[in-house]
Structure 1
Amino acid sequence: MIKRNFPLIVLFLVFLGLLDFIWQVTPYKAHLSQEDESAVAGPEKSMAFTGRMDMPNLDDIYVLDNSAGRDVEALEKYIQGRAAGLHWLGQEHFKKKGADDIRLGLHLVVDSLGIFTCKEILFSDADDEAFEQKLKDHIEYFWRYKKSENGITDFWIPLRWKAKYSK
């Protein structure tokens, strides 16, 4: 009987040895100096961006040309889905410049391949050319829409970054 159950007995003993080893090992506790503890605490609350990105509704989108025949409601839903990327894009600006709301008006064109082109910034409260250029680059690099057979969709949209979150 011992010969037949020998592999099971060995496996059971190895398992008991591993359990004993786990119970005897003490977990590692890092010892931080006071300088390290302040660094771990994170940035000050005044430096963090606690605002919100307001995306345009269907009523806020002004379509200039829709020769591609795109559904404007679907385009509005697509644009609202890009709020997270724009939210984090605004975070750097708020860390540098302060706590005023930003309002931007963009003139965008979507070609037949679904590639967005930012023609111009119609109005801006940002007074930060680097932020505006990052916004243009972000839109042209990351935003892609459904292809159409031909034509373009040309429209204006307002964007707003609120400095403080409110419902």
Structure 2
Amino acid sequence: MRPSILAAVLVLACAAPAAAQQPPASTVEAPAAAAASADAASPEAVVAALYDVISGDAGQARDWDRFRSLFHPTARLMPSGADREGRGVVRSVTPDEYIARSEPFLLREGFHEREIARRSERFGRIMHVWSTYETLHNLSDAAPFARGINSIQLFHDGARWWILSVYWQAETPDAPLPAEYLP
């Protein structure tokens, strides 16, 4: 065996036991529940609160403290779609970055997002919600200007439900909503 390969094997062999003895990675414990108890009491409640807090007419301020209270400290929001060349893209933002990016549009245009169908799966403390949505500028609009699917991951810490992530894709002509995700 060449000396450089032998040295690499020895380093890896010696490092493996050391790595096994290191303490586990730190966990992030959520702060004391800041959400209204009704908002975090069940998966249905936290998802309903999410839709409620981002929705409103043009010029209507959103309750961003309520919005923040729904999300675990490690949470991310991830819009996905395609770039101009048709390649898939995704962006990961914190709840505060979402607020900074979205608030001007929400205030200017009006934005009402509502769930029209849901599929959920739960195991212990974790839950995955496929939430089909439609979006209107005003509740009186005859038709939505967008539809899509929110993939929402939830976590229960023993006291309440938290949103860990919201990952979504809007419907497009190339990616229509599948029948099984519609009402």
Structure number having the greater strand percentage: 2
Structure number having the greater helix percentage: 1
Q: What TM-score range do you get, normalising by the shorter chain?
A: under 0.3
Higher relative contact order (CA 8 A, sep 6+): 1
TM score, norm. by length of structure 1: 0.27
TM score, norm. by length of structure 2: 0.25
Larger radius of gyration: 1
